[in-house]
């Protein structure tokens, strides 16, 4: 079988290896396992069934025989249903064995996901790689108690511990064996989208300070020296770490039945998972879990359980919006379980949260679990300035005042201050996408990572959505749209589709923290944020100061999409995100309409005007050339007109899909009979040709006329005054499109409106 990961040895120091007395890795058979513990009759029938099923199913998976593995597990759960009380009968291990709690239950449930994926694989997944470094620390030293009295007093003897060399033997096979099922599980739960590349780093000359404390019992130390020993490039290119250091657990008679915490789940400065444990956790059973050295049957059963437990701590941390862990180990309280979760054991909670929450979350697991620094991503930080980061941040699940804070500025120096009124200095390093901390930080060496906003389409935006600190995500609470997204999601080009001209095209850009509307004609108008109204306000350098670009926003469970904005009675749309996704099509256009003067309201059904090949939902928008005289609004599938002032009005009906693809239908609404007010001099006019290419001719004028030509968005207007008799108007400079020509007799006030098409 080809493994889904590779091993690369990275030696940072010259090795100093001490040979272990006993070396066990692969090869223990089930009969040999039972003989170690006095025979299979020392275990219940349920335990024997669970052990045998797990080992045989895992062996079948290793050979690719997934159907056999599935049959074995189905038989087990038909006898002992998953999540049922019967599994409480297999918690106690005889003669010092460690088979997990319940026996083999975690592993069997993990195998379920592995088997189900391989029997129903994702076709052509886009596979990512998470780089995992297993760091093996050569030495630890500190005060170690020899009695319970010394433990309570914090006294004891100073000892130096060396790494158990069996972890290094046979190309790290003990670690490999511990990881094997877990790594298969990672690939399966990400639908084949994530593989883990394992590399090993030995630090034989590094000695880590450790100590032993009580209430609860802890035998560990700071991993800060390990971070200091690792090269920055190693830390930047790594997504996951597993730190393994020499055990400092006191192994004296007073502690034969005591449990000591020696590690758990940490986080690196990028928010990636850091598994932390002592070396003997892989070699011998801790006192509270059993006695003696592990054989490979036990290691295969139990170590994946430990890895899964710590891994789900990390998953719940990086998906705080799911509220699956708030106070720590909440799942042990069944009243905490969501109503749609089945089962009662920890492994059940993991399976339920995986299938019913995590795998359908907005950001896929495969994206969340890759945290290494992307050099392409770093370019997105280059346009930030520190002042735009000022403001409030907090965790989604706030447990104490340290979970809320703000970035503030004092005489050019920046600080992080939390709601416990503790502050420390921060210095921007936009080249690395971090805010660096100094010696006044309570967490030495921990920097803030700037988290870029990710759209529902998984595009990264050069806007900050929050900060990652010690693996926790502090969401930005300042100048966000609906407290979800930064205004940077608007950065793009836009164009008016309803017969717009080059003056209706432009791009929203950001320079040195300032937003601008950069028109394709070369003008630039400054924009300020109007958070309350979800709009940009135009500055004094625009022709319409204090008017707004009102954003067109569609929100779904996974975030916001800004499709355009509304300005000066016109919509401006951005390009669609996926060019291969077909745009809506116009299938039943609305024709020009005639409505009576002074009507109250009139509606037409527009549900069949547009269609979408992919059957995506369509959203309709409408504009009127004179909304104060003839209002046009969309209500569901109805287009409603109201007002009824005499005249001609241009209407633009637009359909847009969630990809940003659009289609438009322009037509004219005639209200009343404007021609009836026209004097004879206007009714005799001869206007030709129409459509027109360059020159438009007007003949038979018997009096002085004023002529105005404008387009449907009113962004173009040209007037010709005091024209008599015959006249030709040069339209060659006008963009192609639909225009209206208003001809008025200034003496009588009579007028007519004609639609002109420029080809």
What residues contact residue 596 under an 8 Å CB cut-off, 6+ apart?
A: 644, 671, 672
Domain annotation covers residue 2: no
- CB-based contact 349:341 (threshold 8 Å): yes
pLDDT classification of 19: cutoffs 50, 70, 90: very low
**Average pLDDT for 337-350:** 97
Among 515, 549, 573, the domain boundary falls at 573
Domain annotation covers residue 579: no
- CB-based contact 150:224 (threshold 8 Å): no
Domain annotation covers residue 149: yes
Q: Which two tokens stand for residue 602?
A: 């009139």
pLDDT of 7 reads 38
pLDDT classification of 129: cutoffs 50, 70, 90: very high
Q: Are residues 452 and 516 in the same domain?
A: no
Q: Are residues 354 and 382 in the same domain?
A: no
The CATH number of the domain holding residue 689 is 2.60.40.10
Sort 127 into a burial class: Cβ within 10 Å, 0-12 / 13-18 / 19+: middle
Q: Per-residue pLDDT tens for 155-197? A: 999 999 999 999 999 999 999 999 999 999 999 999 999 999 9
How many whole angstroms separate alpha carbon 298 and alpha carbon 104? Answer: 9
Q: Are residues 594 and 502 in the same domain?
A: no
Transcribe 394-462 into DSSP letters: E-SS--SGGGEEEEEEETTEEEEEETTS-EEEEEEETTTTEEEE-TTSSSTTPPEEEEEEE-TT--EEE
pLDDT of 20 reads 31
Among 622, 655, 671, the domain boundary falls at 671
**Average pLDDT for 223-252:** 95
Q: Are residues 152 and 232 in the same domain?
A: yes
Neighbours of 531 (CB within 10 A): 13
Q: Which two tokens stand for residue 646?
A: 């005499």
Instruction: Give how far the C-alpha of residue 199 lies from the chain's centroid of Cα atoms, to the nearest Å.
Output: 27
> Lowest-confidence range among 250-254, 344-348, 460-464?
460-464
pLDDT classification of 722: cutoffs 50, 70, 90: low
Query: Which has more confidence, 729 or 234?
Result: 234
Closest CA to 268 of 230, 322, 308, 309: 230
Domain annotation covers residue 580: no
pLDDT of 499 reads 56
What residues contact residue 371 under an 8 Å CB cut-off, 6+ apart?
A: 239, 268, 270, 271, 272
Q: Are residues 742 and 753 in the same domain?
A: yes
Domain annotation covers residue 206: yes
The CATH number of the domain holding residue 422 is 2.40.128
Q: Are residues 27 and 148 in the same domain?
A: yes
Closest CA to 365 of 579, 193, 619: 193
Q: Which two tokens stand for residue 28?
A: 């223990």
* DSSP tag of 21: S
The CATH number of the domain holding residue 518 is 2.40.128.50
Q: Per-residue pLDDT tens for 400-441? A: 999 999 999 999 999 999 999 999 999 999 988 899 999 999
Domain annotation covers residue 578: no
Q: How many residues does the structure list for the chain?
A: 759
Q: Are residues 314 and 391 in the same domain?
A: no
* Strand-pair partners of 199: 8, 133
Residue 245 pLDDT greater than 50, yes or no: yes
pLDDT of 759 reads 79
Residue 725 pLDDT greater than 90, yes or no: no
**Average pLDDT for 52-66:** 97
How many whole angstroms separate alpha carbon 83 and alpha carbon 100? Answer: 15
Q: Are residues 346 and 201 in the same domain?
A: yes
pLDDT of 754 reads 78
Q: Are residues 104 and 192 in the same domain?
A: yes
Q: Per-residue pLDDT tens for 474-529? A: 999 887 888 888 999 999 999 987 755 556 789 999 998 899 999 988 899 999 99
Q: Are residues 398 and 360 in the same domain?
A: no
> Lowest-confidence range among 38-52, 78-92, 450-464?
450-464
691: containing domain: 674-758
Number of domains in the chain: 5
Q: Which two tokens stand for residue 569?
A: 């009675």
For the chain, give the percent of residues with pLDDT over 70: 93
pLDDT classification of 4: cutoffs 50, 70, 90: very low
Residue 14 pLDDT greater than 50, yes or no: no
Q: Per-residue pLDDT tens for 271-305? A: 899 999 999 999 999 988 989 999 999 999 999 99
Domain annotation covers residue 651: yes
pLDDT of 677 reads 52
Domain annotation covers residue 484: no
Label residues 544-558 b or e (16+ Cβ within 10 Å = b).
eeeebbbbbbeeeee
Q: Per-residue pLDDT tens for 669-691? A: 989 876 555 566 677 788 888 88
Residue 711 pLDDT greater than 70, yes or no: no
Q: Are residues 496 and 613 in the same domain?
A: no
Q: Per-residue pLDDT tens for 35-44? A: 999 999 999 9
For the chain, give the percent of residues with pLDDT over 90: 64
Strands 240-245 and 128-144: parallel
Assign 698 to helix, strand or coil: strand
How many whole angstroms separate alpha carbon 394 and alpha carbon 407? Answer: 11
Assign 41 to helix, strand or coil: helix
Q: Are residues 130 and 200 in the same domain?
A: yes
- CB-based contact 115:109 (threshold 8 Å): no
Q: What is the pTM of this model?
A: 0.77
Query: Which has more confidence, 23 or 337?
Result: 337
pLDDT of 16 reads 32
Among 637, 671, 705, the domain boundary falls at 671
pLDDT classification of 1: cutoffs 50, 70, 90: very low
Q: Which range has highest mean pLDDT (12-21, 301-310, 717-726)?
A: 301-310
Q: What is the mean pLDDT of the chain?
A: 89
């Amino acid at each position: 079988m080809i493994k889904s990961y590779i091993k690369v040895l990275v030696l940072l120091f010259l090795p100093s290896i001490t040979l272990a007395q006993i070396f066990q890795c692969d090869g223990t058979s089930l009969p040999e396992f039972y003989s170690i513990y006095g025979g299979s009759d020392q275990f219940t029938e349920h335990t024997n069934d669970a052990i045998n099923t797990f080992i045989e199913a895992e062996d079948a998976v290793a050979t690719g025989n997934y159907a056999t593995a599935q049959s074995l597990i189905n038989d087990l759960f038909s006898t002992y249903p998953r999540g049922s009380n019967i599994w409480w009968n297999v918690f106690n291990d005889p003669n010092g064995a460690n088979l997990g709690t319940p026996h083999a239950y975690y592993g069997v449930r993990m195998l379920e996901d592995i088997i189900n994926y391989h029997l129903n694989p994702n076709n052509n997944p886009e596979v990512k790689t998470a780089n995992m470094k297993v760091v093996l620390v050569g030495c630890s030293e500190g005060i170690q108690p020899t009695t319970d009295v010394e433990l309570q007093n914090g006294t004891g003897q100073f000892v130096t511990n060396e790494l158990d060399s069996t972890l290094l033997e046979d190309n790290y096979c003990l670690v490999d064996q511990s990881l094997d099922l877990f790594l298969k599980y990672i690939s399966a739960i990400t639908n084949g989208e994530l593989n883990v590349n394992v590399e090993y780093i030995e630090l034989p000359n590094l000695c880590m300070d450790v100590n032993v404390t009580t209430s609860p019992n802890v035998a560990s130390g700071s991993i800060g020296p390990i971070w200091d020993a690792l090269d920055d490039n190693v830390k930047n290119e790594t997504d996951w770490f597993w730190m393994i250091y020499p055990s400092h657990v006191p192994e004296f008679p007073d502690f034969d039945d005591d449990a000591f915490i020696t590690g758990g789940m940490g986080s690196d400065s990028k928010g990636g998972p850091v598994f932390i444990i002592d070396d003997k956790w892989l070699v011998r059973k801790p006192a509270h879990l059993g006695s003696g050295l592990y054989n490979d049957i036990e290691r295969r059963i139990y170590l994946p359980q430990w890895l899964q437990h710590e891994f789900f701590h990390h998953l719940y941390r990086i998906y705080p919006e799911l509220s699956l862990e708030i106070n720590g180990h909440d799942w042990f309280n069944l009243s905490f379980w969501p109503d749609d979760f089945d089962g009662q054991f920890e492994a059940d909670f993991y399976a339920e949260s995986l299938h019913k929450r995590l795998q359908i979350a907005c950001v896929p697991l495969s994206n969340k679990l890759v945290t290494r620094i992307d050099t392409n991503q770093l370019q997105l930080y280059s346009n930030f300035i520190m002042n735009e980061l000022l403001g409030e941040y907090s965790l989604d699940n706030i447990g104490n005042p340290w979970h809320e804070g703000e970035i503030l500025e004092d005489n050019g120096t920046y600080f992080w201050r939390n709601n416990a009124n503790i502050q420390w200095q921060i210095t921007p390093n936009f080249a690395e996408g971090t805010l660096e901390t100094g010696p006044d930080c309570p967490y030495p060496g921990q920097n803030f990572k700037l988290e870029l906003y990710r759209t529902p389409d998984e595009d990264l935006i050069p806007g900050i959505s929050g900060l990652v600190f010690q693996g926790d995500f502090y969401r930005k609470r300042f100048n966000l749209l609906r407290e979800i997204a930064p205004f940077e999601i608007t950065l793009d080009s836009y164009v008016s589709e309803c017969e717009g001209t080059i003056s209706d095209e432009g791009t929203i850009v950001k320079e040195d923290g300032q937003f601008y509307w950069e028109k394709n004609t070369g003008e630039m108008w400054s924009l300020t944020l109007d958070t309350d109204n979800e709009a940009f306000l135009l500055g004094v350098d625009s022709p319409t100061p204090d008017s707004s670009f009102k954003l067109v926003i569609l929100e779904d469970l996974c975030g916001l999409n800004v499709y355009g904005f509304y300005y000066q009675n016109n919509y401006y749309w951005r390009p669609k995100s996926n060019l291969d996704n077909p745009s809506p099509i116009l299938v039943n256009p609305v024709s020009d309409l005639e409505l009576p003067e002074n009507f109250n309201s009139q509606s037409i059904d527009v549900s069949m005007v547009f269609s979408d090949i992919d059957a995506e939902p369509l959203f309709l928008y409408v504009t009127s050339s004179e909304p104060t005289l003839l209002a046009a609004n969309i209500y569901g599938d109805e287009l409603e007109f109201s007002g009824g002032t005499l005249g001609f009005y241009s209407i633009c009906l637009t359909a847009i899909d969630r990809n940003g693809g659009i289609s438009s239908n322009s037509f004219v609404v005639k209200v009343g009979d404007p021609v009836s007010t026209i004097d004879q001099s206007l009714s005799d006019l001869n206007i030709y040709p129409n459509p027109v290419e360059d020159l438009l001719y007007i003949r038979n004028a018997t009096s002085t006329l004023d002529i105005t030509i404008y387009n449907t968005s009113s962004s173009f207007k040209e007037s010709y005054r005091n024209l008599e008799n015959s006249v030709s108007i040069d339209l060659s400079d006008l963009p192609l499109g639909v225009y209206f020509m208003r001809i008025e007799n200034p003496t009588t006030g009579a007028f007519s409106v004609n639609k002109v098409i420029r080809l």
